[in-house]
Structure 1
Amino acid sequence: MPIPKHDDIRVPALKLLSEKGLLKLKDFVELLGSHFKLTEEELSEMYPSGNGHIFYDRVSWALSYLNMSDLVEKPKRGTYSINNVGLKLLKTPEAVNDYIAEKLSQREVPKQQKKAVISSESETMTSDFTPAEKLYASFEKIKKTRKDEILNTILSKTPFEFETIVVKLLQKMGYGGEIKDSGLVTKATNDGGIDGVIKEDVLGLGRIHIQAKRYALNNSINRDEIQKFAGALLGAPMSKGVFITTSYFSDGALTYVKNLNNSTIILIDGDQLAEYMYEYGLGMQIVQTIELKKLDTDFWDAMKDD
């Protein structure tokens, strides 16, 4: 089944505490994993960013909200127990989430901040996502916007500038290494179907040949264009090529490349091109860096509990 959202975890977590007494976070993860019939793959699934396990994070947030709403207590660090308020509310489990939303909206905050905090917390409580997941989703939304901007900006430049961009991108990705003048954009009048070359060694014995097509986003690259590029590679040593476009490749083009035997051609479509440019920072500036931190359990576990 899908990994449950943090607000779906709250009631089962309360029930576990009413049955088991004191529990630690790792206990919840194991017991709730069994409750929701999650597979090992689902239990170990991580956020796309790689910053933590999804189910563990959602259990942690569910417990945090229960604690902030005074439904559970923490007798000592790292352990949870249900109190009388939690036991009473558990008799009407359908009311738990509404109770938490109302409780948090009434928390004491400085007067000048109260309106903003209530609005923020109410939105968080009614959402299926944890604050961390909201942040990741916002990041992905911003990233998608930037990728669209990258492609639209490329389309406003000349074909030669696009060829220069893709050569620089491959160098940025590590191809050519520290070799001087490893990247070359060929002359348009005599490129023989090759728009750029990356030298992989000092002598230039290993080369990556590039073709770059600055096409409108809805204009596909068909099989015949890949065949022409493959033909241009026949007289090239090692026969390695990268075909990069701002648009996309037809099914016929993808199938043709998959079945090639005498050369290697890598296809990079517009979405992947924008992804690489974003990730490797070509033509990009870092606006702000945000650090998300969590408690260092090794540090705190080394200390004696009260």
Structure 2
Amino acid sequence: MPAVIRFRRGIAAIVLAASVCVLSAAPAMADRPGGGGSVGGGSGSDTSTSGGTDGDTINASVGAVVFDRSHNGSGTSVGPVTATTSWTPPACWYAPKYSPAAFQAYVEPIWAADSTGYEWDAQQRDRYVNGHPYKDFNKDKTGKGYWWDSYVNKSFPPGWDKCDEPYFWVDTGGAPPANIPNTISTKILGELAYNEIRVPTKEVSLKPAGTTKVNLATWAWLDKTTFKPVSVTASVPVLGLSATTTAEPVSLRIDPGTSDAVTYPASGVCEFNNGSIGEEYTAGDAGKTPPCGVKYLRSSGSGSYQLKATVTWKIHWTGSDGNGDDLPDGSFGRPQDVIVQEIQSVNR
């Protein structure tokens, strides 16, 4: 769509906002700045949607993505993973949005306001009313399909405004036009679910805890009951499409916060084994080398070192249509203070 059309659709969204209270009692959906798309995503509850599901109201979004977070990480100590590559979830996509009646109720007040210009309004009427190529908003196909439009990732990342195709019709059970990229699919749903994954952010257990000594091995481990696979399912119910994205912890990287340290193993990467990392220190382990840990070679002086423990999560998606694939690994880390003291000796 030319830039001028996108601009006019932006004006249209403003005009519509002023008309919603008169023409619809449905909850308002945020219109995509610069166009007619709705904000995607959702937050808060375990199951949420990016829009309404009533196809006969002005702001309905029948193709809104619904997220089921009931198998996600929970509690107050959770956070999002960060992709270990430059990959990002889709910035925008196309999906069903309006029934014929809802589409008419959306666009006619915009045309009537004349704020978008006679020429543009006439082109729109010709396209959607006069049969070039659609006639009377496709009312004769009511119940047999939907008008599709763009949706936008709720974080508005770069590229959110690239889905600028004009509204198009897709029959129920039919495929969207092959020449339009980013039409909703299980792949896109799996990628959107990636953005909703939340993982535990608990600090790694250390022994000695908080304060250790120079040249004394500090054991590190993670409780297997805390770190277990999590998943989020994204779906578009009106299309019967869904995809579940699962994140499974695979390793812990220890960064001592100083070059004056030795890690165990030497790579600093501790692998998960039977759902846990490392081994919990016991009294009989004194003098042993920990399977996962760190040894500081120099005192932290009057301060502390910032040890950072970063968990890597292997992530993949599986779609309701049998498709699936790996997604970039995700990571989440947090620093914790470690005080390192010199070993004091007594001379007699």
Superposition TM-score, scaled by structure 2 size: 0.25
The structure with more helix, counted as a fraction of residues = 1
The structure with more strand, counted as a fraction of residues = 2
Superposition TM-score, scaled by structure 1 size: 0.27
Higher RCO (CA-CA < 8 Å; seq separation 6+): 2
